[in-house]
Amino acid sequence: MSQSAVDVPPKGGFSFDLCKRNDMLIQKGLKAPSFLKTGTTIVGLIFKDGVILGADTRATEGPIVADKNCEKIHYMAPNIYCCGAGTAADTEAVTDMVSSQLRLHRYQTGRDSRVITALTLLKKHLFSYQGHVSAALVLGGVDITGPHLHTIYPHGSTDTLPFATMGSGSLAAMSVFEAKYKEGLTRDEGIKLVAEAICSGIFNDLGSGSNVDICVITKGNKEYLRNYMEPNPRTYVSSKGYSFSKKTEVLLTKITPLMERVEITEVGEAMEE
């Protein structure tokens, strides 16, 4: 029996011991196991009163759709939300972790969280993992200093933008934004534009699909519009339905008692200490 094959570093985190072996195996022709990536189109834009975030809802494992309706807009703080593209486990883990850190920070400071706090916590974490944590994020929120929108790349670089897109469908979505975005959009105009950009990703990018999720954040208020649009219903449902015949055939039913019935008789006196 072999001992544990890999030593875990004392402070937790990744162990890179097997990297050389993995490289050797890949050179010899082994296909590395695939991750659940979110394919994805995620967008954010700043409008007159705050920030609007949008995302599609398809999660892919290679060419297969693993989840037709997943949630890509993650909660960070009551006034801050974050869309995530890349490896699903990484985006979930990193946003959960920073969300907890922000909460503790709120308890400590007694103030509402600021978007740049979340930004700095995220970028520090991602940079320290040198791009191995494959999370590309669109972070948006409204704090005491106003509305903010940032993009964060897996290696840890960030941008501050009035409108942003990430994920495999980012080019399709960005083409819509570049054509139609202007400053000072109203809430309804902003939602319409975000929905249009996500739809562009959904229909033109194979890694994105299903429904549109939207989150509107303004000063003192947030609205999470889950499945705001569902432009992809199932196209054909057979009217007669299908049955699946039971394949197992019962040949014999027999019950075998495992233990004979035991008779208990009182003999002599009870045991005494």
Partner 1 sequence: MTKQHANWSPYDNNGGTCVAIAGSDYCVIAADTRMSTGYSILSRDYSKIHKLADKAVLSSSGFQADVKALQKVLKSRHLIYQHQHNKQMSCPAMAQLLSNTLYFKRFFPYYAFNVLGGLDAEGKGCVFTYDAVGSYEKVGYSAQGSGSTLIMPFLDNQLKSPSPLLLPAQDSITPLSEAEAVDLVKTVFASATERDIYTGDKLEIMILKADGIKTELIDLRKD
Rule CB under 8 A: choose which of 111, 144, 206, 227 binds partner 1.
206
Rule CB under 8 A: choose which of 38, 42, 51, 60 binds partner 1.
60
Task: List the beta bridge partners of residue 47.
Answer: 50
Site for partner 1 in 10-49 (CB under 8 A): 27, 39
Closer residue to partner 1 (CB): 115 or 202? 202
Q: What is the closest distance, in whole angstroms, from the C-beta atom of residue 197 to partner 1 in the complex?
A: 14
Site for partner 1 in 210-229 (CB under 8 A): 210
Rule CB under 8 A: choose which of 13, 18, 68, 184 binds partner 1.
68
Q: Which amino acid is at 216?
A: V
Looking only at the bridges linking them, the beta strands covering 146-152 and 64-67 are unpaired
145 DSSP assignment: T
Give CA separation, 17 vs 14, 22, 23, 118, in Å. Answer: 9, 10, 11, 31
Cβ-based neighbour number of residue 96 at 10 Å: 13
Q: What is the closest distance, in whole angstroms, from the C-beta atom of residue 27 to partner 1 in the complex?
A: 6
Closer residue to partner 1 (CB): 88 or 185? 88
- 92: helix, strand or coil: helix
Pair 197, 54: CB distance under 8 Å: yes
Instruction: Provide CB contacts within 8 A for 158, sequence distance 6+.
Output: 119, 123, 150, 151, 152
Instruction: Quote the Cα angle for 226-232-233, to 5°.
Output: 100
Closer residue to partner 1 (CB): 61 or 189? 61
Q: Does 209 help bind partner 1 (rule: CB under 8 A)?
A: yes
Calculate Rg over the CA atoms of the chain. 27
CA–CA separation, 181 vs 75, rounded Å? 26
The binding track of 235-264 with respect to partner 1, each residue x by CB under 8 A or -, is xxxx-x-x-x--------------------
Catalytic residue list:
40
| Joined tokens for residue 81 | 């939300």
Closer residue to partner 1 (CB): 34 or 186? 34
Stretch that binds partner 1, among 47-55, 98-106, 234-242, 253-261 (CB under 8 A): 234-242
Rule CB under 8 A: choose which of 204, 224, 225, 229 binds partner 1.
204
- 128: helix, strand or coil: helix
Looking only at the bridges linking them, the beta strands covering 64-67 and 212-218 are unpaired
Rule CB under 8 A: choose which of 1, 6, 32, 64 binds partner 1.
64
Closer residue to partner 1 (CB): 11 or 240? 240
Applying CB under 8 A, the residues found at the interface with partner 1 are: 27, 39, 58, 60, 63-65, 68, 168, 202-210, 231-232, 234-238, 240, 242, 244
